[in-house]
């Protein structure tokens, strides 16, 4: 047997409050994140959008998967050296890498866990200045 709520609230009214409250929460959340990371606005710049398009046009496949001989479409442009708010590193095409979302998320998770990227250059050297083998140089 169905149990009625103690007070009747019209369905439309119940639903109405929710999205607004969520939107407001999201808006405040975004604002806090922008404050913590002002470089989030870098992603809105035209120069980035063009650089991103150019990278994905140049290399439409995920480079991490490609290195394992697998063909997966890239949807994200990753920064080989974490830019940490440095516009030059952010926008430098040499620092851009095509990645699928899966690879990008695991790269980002690793950087967040370790505090540095383990990306290597063609000589096998770690390229992130924050990597332990590069510190104090």
Contact residues toward Zn ion (CB under 5 A) are 62, 64-65, 72, 100, 103
Q: Which is nearer to Zn ion, 64 or 131 (CB)?
A: 64
User: φ and ψ at 73, to 5 degrees?
Assistant: -65, 135
The distance of closest approach from Cβ of residue 46 to Zn ion in the complex, given in angstroms and rounded to an integer, is: 27
Q: Which is nearer to Zn ion, 5 or 69 (CB)?
A: 69
The distance of closest approach from Cβ of residue 105 to Zn ion in the complex, given in angstroms and rounded to an integer, is: 10
Q: Which is nearer to Zn ion, 50 or 109 (CB)?
A: 109
Which tokens in the block code for residue 101?
């979302």
Kindly tell me the burial class for residue 83, based on how many C-beta atoms sit within 10 Å of its own C-beta (0-12, 13-18, 19 or more).
Answer: middle
Which tokens in the block code for residue 115?
């505090």
CA dist 58 → 74, 115, 123 (Å): 11, 29, 23
The distance of closest approach from Cβ of residue 21 to Zn ion in the complex, given in angstroms and rounded to an integer, is: 37
β-strand 76-79 against 96-99: which pairing, if any?
Answer: antiparallel
DSSP state of 134: G
The distance of closest approach from Cβ of residue 70 to Zn ion in the complex, given in angstroms and rounded to an integer, is: 8
Q: Which is nearer to Zn ion, 51 or 72 (CB)?
A: 72
Strand partners, 120: 126
């Amino acid at each position: 047997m169905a149990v009625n709520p103690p007070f009747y609230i019209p369905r439309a009214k119940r639903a109405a409050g929710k999205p607004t409250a969520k939107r407001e929460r999201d808006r405040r959340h975004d604002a806090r994140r922008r404050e913590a990371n002002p470089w989030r606005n870098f992603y809105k710049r035209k120069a980035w959008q063009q650089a991103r398009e150019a990278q994905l046009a140049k290399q439409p496949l995920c480079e991490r998967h490609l290195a394992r001989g697998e063909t997966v479409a890239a949807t994200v442009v990753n920064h080989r050296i974490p830019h940490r708010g440095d516009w030059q590193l952010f926008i430098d095409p040499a620092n851009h890498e095509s990645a699928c979302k899966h690879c990008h998320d695991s790269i980002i998770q690793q950087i967040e866990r370790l505090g540095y990227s383990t990306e290597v250059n063609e000589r096998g050297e770690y390229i992130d200045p924050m990597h332990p083998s590069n510190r104090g140089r």
